[in-house]
């Protein structure tokens, strides 16, 4: 079997390493991948958004199966295009990927089908948005409608900040066309949980829960990033809460998408907040989360490729998806300055065996050397019998990977550990 994985970050590296366990796969391609994956897959220098070239490559190379991992190509309809040329895919079609591609769509879906989420209003007219803010109180949340690299969400502490954010998006085009429509929503409070789930359109099978750390600095200070580290499972997500989520959120979402003729097949990501009034949806993503995938997949005991094939074919069974009872922690090593400006081109050096996994996100190979080439450079994941053990181990392993100007948070998992100890 020839399999290609679209994308080039740490998530894709984790997917590729997991797929390698399946012996029916003879060749794995990463499109475009990155230099840090060169030992695990054949790199194909085609951008993840270059749909024409990807389809041409798939036909020429007789690719049997494609995993489309990032949001952009999914929202652009890469799965539809690949299906048209006869390539089986893991990932939602364009019609279904809109659940992430448009926040206005997903908010309206939740309202229509009674799925718990923050109350909100959608605006395409800036003056109306500003007038609406005069009737609200802070904190309040402003979201660009479209994709914005996880940065299109502003938590405004004052109405003035909220208005500034609206003007930035709707008048100054901060997020391009993604900000032409904005969603203004209620500020929710409570622990956050990420749940990734396989769904074949018939059933939804959640994976182990996780917790992301979105802010750049320790103690959740600094700017929002793509994610600075993760732990799994998330101690806040008890069995009871999982049951409530299945009944009030997961199953209703799959049913809602079917009712809208937008059957979702692939990995659906539920970003949840556990509020005093029960679990609510903060966001949907139409794909594996990054860096959530870097703790979830190492804990998966079943064969990922088999699960992906069954998901694509609509034959998924609950018993196909098994996870270990252990814990995992992933520490993201970034370039100092991320998510704003940072330097690149520094050599990444590993000293000694890493007891865990190194998933490379932003690196290139140059003259046989691996050089930093992005904001998030790599993730170091360790597994332990307990959460505490996995955190300690992940930080120990992190010391074995070095590059100039490296930056990482020192408190990944600390909040979760505190919650777990108080439970």
Q: Among ligand GLY, ligand AMP, none, what binds residue 155 when CB lies within 5 to 8 Å by partner kind? A: ligand AMP
Does the protein bind ligand GLY through residue 212 (CB under 6 A)? yes
SS3 content of the chain, % helix, strand, coil (to 5): 35, 30, 35
Residue closer to ligand GLY, measured from CB, 227 or 279: 227
Q: How far apart are CA 251 and CA 28, in angstroms?
A: 33
Binding site for ligand AMP (CB under 6 A): 118, 141, 150, 153, 155, 185-188, 192, 214, 224, 271, 282-283
Binding mask 140-179 for ligand GLY (x = CB under 6 A): ----------x-----------------------------
Under 8 Å between Cβ of 403 and 347 = yes
Residue 194 or 373 with smaller CB distance to ligand GLY: 194
Candidates 130-138, 238-246, 288-296, 310-318; binding stretch for ligand GLY (CB under 6 A): 288-296
Please, what is the minimum distance in Å from the beta carbon of residue 42 to ligand GLY?
Answer: 25
State the minimum distance, in angstroms, from the CB of residue 272 to ligand GLY. Answer: 12
- Shortest Å distance, C-beta 228 to ligand AMP: 12
- Alpha carbon distances (Å) from 310 to 298, 306, 324: 20, 6, 21
227 touching ligand GLY, by CB under 6 A: yes
- With CB under 5 to 8 Å by kind, the binding choice for 292 among ligand AMP, ligand GLY, none is ligand GLY
Residue 282 binds what, of ligand GLY, ligand AMP, none (CB under 5 to 8 Å, by partner type)?
Answer: ligand AMP
Size of the site for ligand GLY (CB under 6 A): 7
Asked if 3 contacts 25 with a C-beta cutoff of 8 angstroms, the reply is: yes
Terminal alpha carbon distance of the chain: 47
Strand pairing class (278-285; 266-275): antiparallel
Neighbours of 422 (CB within 10 A): 7
Question: Of 26, 43, 27, 47, which is closest to residue 35 (Cα–Cα)?
Answer: 43
User: What are the two backbone dihedrals, phi and then psi, of residue 2, each rounded to the nearest 5 degrees?
Assistant: -105, 120
Mapping DSSP to helix (H, G, I), strand (E, B) and coil, where does residue 380 land? strand
Q: Which does 227 bind (CB under 5 to 8 A by kind): ligand AMP, ligand GLY, none?
A: ligand GLY
Q: Which residues pair with 198 in a beta bridge?
A: 205, 267
Among ligand AMP, ligand GLY, none, partner that 100 touches (CB below 5 to 8 angstroms by kind): none
**Least CB distance to ligand AMP at residue 311 (A):** 23
**What secondary structure letter does DSSP report for 259?**
H
* Spatial distance between the Cα atoms of 29 and 7, rounded to a whole number of angstroms: 10
User: Which residues contact residue 14 at a Cβ distance below 8 angstroms, ignoring those fewer than 6 apart?
Assistant: 293, 294, 297, 298, 357, 359, 379, 381
In the complex with ligand GLY, which residue's Cβ is closer, 11 or 94? Answer: 11
Binding residues for ligand GLY, per CB under 6 A?
150, 212, 227, 285, 289-290, 292
């Amino acid at each position: 079997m020839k399999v290609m994985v679209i994308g080039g970050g740490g998530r894709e590296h984790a997917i590729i390493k997991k797929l390698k366990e399946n012996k029916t796969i003879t060749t794995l391609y990463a499109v475009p991948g990155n230099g840090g994956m060169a030992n695990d897959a054949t790199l194909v220098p085609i951008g993840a958004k270059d749909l024409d070239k990807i389809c041409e490559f798939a036909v020429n190379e007789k690719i049997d199966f494609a995993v489309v991992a990032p949001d952009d190509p999914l929202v652009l309809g890469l799965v539809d295009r690949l299906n048209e040329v006869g390539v089986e895919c893991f990932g939602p079609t364009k019609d279904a990927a809109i659940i992430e591609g448009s926040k206005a769509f997903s908010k309206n879906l939740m309202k229509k089908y009674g799925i718990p989420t923050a109350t909100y209003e959608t605006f395409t007219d800036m003056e109306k948005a500003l007038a609406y803010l005069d009737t609200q109180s802070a904190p309040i949340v402003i979201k660009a409608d479209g994709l914005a690299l996880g940065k299109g969400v502003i938590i405004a502490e004052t109405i003035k900040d909220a208005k500034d954010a609206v003007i930035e998006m709707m008048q100054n085009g901060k997020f391009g066309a993604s900000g032409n429509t904005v969603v203004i929503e209620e500020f929710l409070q409570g622990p956050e949980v990420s749940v990734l789930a396989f769904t074949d359109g018939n059933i939804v099978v959640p994976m182990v829960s996780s917790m992301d750390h979105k802010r750049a600095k320790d103690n959740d200070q600094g700017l929002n990033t793509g994610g600075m580290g993760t732990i799994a499972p998330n101690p806040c997500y008890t069995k009871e809460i999982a049951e409530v989520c299945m009944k009030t959120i997961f199953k209703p979402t799959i049913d809602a998408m079917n009712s809208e003729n937008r059957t979702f097949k692939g990995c659906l990501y539920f970003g949840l907040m556990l509020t005093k009034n029960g679990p609510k949806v903060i966001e949907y993503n139409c794909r594996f989360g990054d860096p959530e995938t870097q703790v979830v997949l190492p804990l998966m005991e079943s064969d990922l490729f088999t699960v992906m094939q069954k998901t694509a074919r609509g034959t998924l069974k609950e018993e196909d998806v098994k996870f270990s009872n252990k814990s995992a922690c992933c520490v993201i090593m970034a370039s100092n300055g991320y998510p704003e400006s940072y330097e690149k081109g520094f050599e990444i050096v590993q000293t000694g065996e890493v007891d865990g996994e190194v998933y490379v996100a932003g690196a290139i190979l140059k003259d046989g050397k691996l050089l930093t080439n992005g904001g998030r450079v790599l993730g170091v994941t360790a597994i332990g019998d307990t959460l505490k053990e996995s955190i300690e181990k992940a930080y120990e392993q992190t010391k074995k990977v070095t590059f100039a100007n490296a930056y990482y948070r020192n408190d990944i998992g600390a909040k979760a550990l505190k919650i777990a100890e108080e439970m």
